Structure 1
Amino acid sequence: MDHSTIVMIALLMALAAALYSTVGHGGASAYLAIMALFSVAPDTMRPTALALNLVVAGLGSWRYWRAGQTNLKLLLMFAATAVPAAFIGGGIKVPPDIYRPLVGALLWAAALRLFWHPSLLAGREPRPVSAAVALPVGALIGLLAGLTGTGGGIFLSPLIILFGWEDARKTSGVVAGFILLNSIAGLAGNVTSMQALPAELPILVAAVAVGGIVGTWLGAGRLPKPRLLQGLGLVLVIAGAKLIFA
């Protein structure tokens, strides 16, 4: 890639990281879409997106934890089955033609629900989720995360919010940690793919780190809950479009 292309990709990824990290996401789906736009080789896209996910989700996990916005019990309940499932999914290659449109449509439906009643959802008292629900849900999301090359946050966030398992800000803290663990597992499940990481990776890492710092600074305690929910809705719209049209 020439220098101008690298700069453009880095700037777009920094913006994506800032947007996604406000709601605890790592941004893998956006990074995949950006790389596809610039015709990056498919073998390079997946490990690069997961590697960048580690940076942004790592920053988010730390900042939300420092701000007291991480429900560790809820995180561990979902991660207990999600992490091994993400490891398994990371080693499986499945044609995306079947599940991409379906998952994209589900994400758009979740986004629409969040845009319709953000104040109502933000004001609800959290209710606990049982292990009988969290463990199988975590396994399914972890498998999807491994298969798609993402951290699974776009699947977990709307479930936590829509079912009232945690409030918006602590959802971001849970999701950041969830994405970090799943991204590690997904890369480990297909460790040979790391050989395809681009030489420009340090530049991209620096770009998403800056975006992640800004986004987590805004999301950890400076945006009101309704805005966080609307931000999540926007993330889901973007991710759904990527899954359907990319």
Structure 2
Amino acid sequence: MSQILFLIFLPIVAFLYSSVGHGGASAYLALMAFLQFVPEHMKPIALLLNMLVSLIAFLLFYRKIKMPWKLFLTLCVSSIPAAYWGGSLPIEPHWYKWMLGVILLIPTWRLLQNHQQAERPVRLFNPYATLGIGAAIGFISGLIGIGGGILLSPVLIFLRWAHLKETACISALFIFVNSVSGLMGQQKSLKTLYNLYQAEWFVWMMM
């Protein structure tokens, strides 16, 4: 029954998150936690769905803007290895739920913010600060099982390193590469994914 409910809500969540350049991993994790999915299955499922949805979102936004490749690549230089490292580390269920709860508060906080700042002129990014931000977000993303867009977007807007559409495009591709890296860091998750592919409900979900 829980798998059926997940399949019902999945397209809605994916559509809403992809429209702002996100993959939706935090929402998938929250939904799976509510439906009492097996914890070992949650992170690989969320990351795999994240990869698919964020890649589609990136392709949609990329056609409409000029991608700030220098900013994106600087972020990824540190975020990709950090996401792999975070994904390889075990985390106690208690701390995992606590960290996930904090992450889920971020969308609520963003809704309460004044978005006028996002329309101000863009400033040149600091490469050293960018490397640090990329590493921090990448590590947290790999540890929790998200792509990091939910963390990166408000940072880019607050620092005025990108406009809204540029932020959405950067975040979408950032989510994709970090989801891949975080998943590769989870050897047990890769085996779990293989087992999940044998499950009929998971095949239907991907369709």
Measured against the shorter chain, the TM-score band is: 0.7 to 0.9
Q: Which residue matches 2:27?
A: 30
The equivalent residue for 1:217 is: none
Q: Which of the numbers 64, 68, 84 marks the counterpart of 1:67?
A: 64
Relative contact order, CA 8 A, sep 6+: which one is greater? Answer: 1
Amino acid at match of 1:74: L
- Residues 26, 100 of structure 2: 8 Å contact kept: no
**Residue number in structure 1 paired with 2:126:** 130
State the shift of 1:137 in Å: 0.8
Report what 1:79 is aligned to: 76
C-alpha deviation, 1:66, in angstroms: 2.1
Q: Which runs of 5+ in 1 are unaligned?
A: 207-246
Contact kept in structure 1, 2:82 and 2:142, CA below 8 Å:
yes
| Corresponding residue of 1:189 | 185
- Among 154, 161, 184, the alignment partner of 1:165 is 161
What SS does structure 2 have at the residue aligned with 1:126? coil
Structure 2 alignment gaps of length 5 or more: none
Given that 2:96 and 2:144 are in contact with CA atoms closer than 8 Å, whether structure 1 keeps it comes out as no
What is the aligned-residue identity percentage?
A: 36
Note if contact 2:25-2:145 (Cα within 8 Å) is conserved in structure 1. yes
- CA, structure 1 residues 195+99, in 2 after alignment: closer, same or farther (shift >3 Å)? closer
Q: CA-atom RMSD, angstroms?
A: 2.2
Residue identity in the other structure for 1:87: Y
1:46 aligns with 2:43: yes
Name the aligned partner's letter for residue 38 of structure 2.
Answer: A
What count of residue pairs does the alignment treat as equivalent? 202
Instruction: Tell me how far 1:70 sits from its aligned partner.
Output: 3.0
Query: After TM superposition, which residue ranges in structure 1, 4 or more long, deviate above 3 angstroms?
Result: 96-114
TM-score (norm 1): 0.75
Q: Mapping of 1:1-246 within 5 angstroms?
A: 2=1, 5-68=2-65, 70-95=67-92, 97-98=94-95, 101=98, 104-105=101-102, 108=105, 111-112=108-109, 115-118=112-115, 120-197=116-193, 198=196, 199=199, 200-206=201-207
Q: CA deviation at 1:113?
A: 5.6
Greater shift in the superposed pair: 143-152 or 185-194: 185-194
TM-score (norm 2): 0.88
Contact 1:160–1:171 under 8 Å retained in 2? yes
Q: d(CA) in 2 for partners of 1:88 and 1:194? A: 15
SS of structure 1 residue aligned to 2:112: helix
Shift in Å, 1:114: 5.1
